[in-house]
Structure 1
């Protein structure tokens, strides 16, 4: 079998002389051909939404499935329905493998339309797509145990054995380029099929969700009166206590280390399945640094949950100081005793004030405006912070310690 999904979709587009789109059986977009038509009807609302959001609505899915596409073994012609946003008729090529539908290739129908020979050739390509989708679904399910073992084994001989088992199961693909994606919290079992991935599994996550089942984020007072300014929201003291849960780990195949679009697409689709935030590690070739990649992905996902400006999908390379905070936390430091009292729930407003003041580089006017308070009120709160912590906010090192403590609390609190 040659090429990836995009190559195969482009092949069908060339055979039938029309742009094709490929969706999985859940109507989530996998790949689409170029649209160079000047005809406005070539991009009706249904197709536009599918491409822009990478999924179709439940109503659209039910309408198309009403034409028997899930049972069909050959092309299905579907008429236009302007009331449903379908301005042009469709040709659906069911993507099947061993009698099971794994997805659909969609083309806009037009007169006179493709002939029987062209449609037969396109169905042969659809069969190749079906094999690929089936293999990926099987591989993702079969490798969940091996993938999880690598991520939870820790350092040493156990991880070496787990890596050897995963490398053997992946075969030649083990030496390829991959990116690890973390989605948290994850509410249930790992998906049976995630197109474009090499392996998927769930991993225990001690901070998997707060009382509402979300992955952190700002507390009820987060951003109150602060607008969209830097550091808006609360530090750890503003969040409800979290409960244990789990995260979803995904190993995504890449063609280029500079193009993370496949990993971002996987993360975005998975967030629609219940996760609150996602992180993407730096691409790596081979499996030797898989545990480090998981640490990066999970830290990026936590940063996306802590700082909305990063998310909901954050790359490790884009989370700035949270990279260092994650590395420090991995080494096991405890919360600093000087700042511990400030992070108690009783002082959440002071913690938020201090964090935003430091985010504003100590500029009192900017901080007061962002908080919506008078400058004298700001000075009073900062004096209380100094009293509670024993830190001198005129000293650079004390400011650094406090800022790091507040950001670490946001990330891991």
Structure 2
């Protein structure tokens, strides 16, 4: 927003008085351009802005003896506000700290996609995991608490599955990870949230050249463009290697106080972490996304290939994270727990349309049969249950087929090792 003030003798020598009256009428964040023939404005206006918390954007000489000065009205308490995609990793933490260090009011957002390994560990609640709190801790919430960053956690799992995971415009990485589409999706969501809340800046912890596909300069530019954020997305850790953003150009963010990290070496981040006293963070590059896991990728590809409608339920995705998966046919798959926690988890999934399968004496893995198995597939699942039990060496084993309101027993020959290899996904 701009508003020109007439260059007149009556305006001088006290342009600040008129500027003060006009600023009261403007909305927070509005920009005002002042023209004056009083050179004193060049010293008075910076002082005026400092006193009132407004941003001084600079000056120029329009003509002989005529000066142009630009300022921006303060926002909520005079502090620039920034919304960051907070993962809980080192990079997004340092990006937030860089902004806090120059007085920016930082808020965080964390999008829950349904593919975080930590969330799954929490759901299973294995004793070994619960004994190590960091294995089940939400790192984004931890960072937010340690650095006083208000954090909003938003569930986007259903939309993310449909629009990003199953239909990525830019394809997948080495597993089933649609990293480019993921960033575009999250930035659009963050930008929408920032606009709703009147937040000035959206930022991320991305570093130019750190990742071979999603963080190359050309890819970063593509992501910014397709997210509709050209010139508005701030990447504090690599800011000095990137084009100046609007927030830097108009003084809301001090570019000189941002960082210059580049490439795959993380030495600069470690130096910055030491400066800010950040010494407790997840292993860099470790990741917690199932979509980057090659075993999970095989399972989800199998699920997609055997879902003719193209529609996949969130529950089906959840089950991909659990147990051993064996494909019995186009319309049937069996999943067996690998330990007590997984078997307990799977047992809760039994209902009229989902069979449970378990050796009768209880000494073995619990499994569920998904799809529409015929009698032959049910018997195959029972043979597999016998194989995954302590009676695998017996000639015949009694196995229960369980539904929510019924149960039947049958005796089967345990499956062989060759049969396992034939069916395992």
Q: Does the TM-score normalized on the shorter chain lie above 0.5? A: no
Report which structure shows greater RCO (CA 8 Å, sep ≥6).
1
How would you bin the TM-score normalised by the shorter chain?
A: under 0.3
Say which one has the larger Rg.
2
In the superposition, the TM-score normalised over structure 1's length comes to: 0.26
Structure having the higher helix fraction is 1
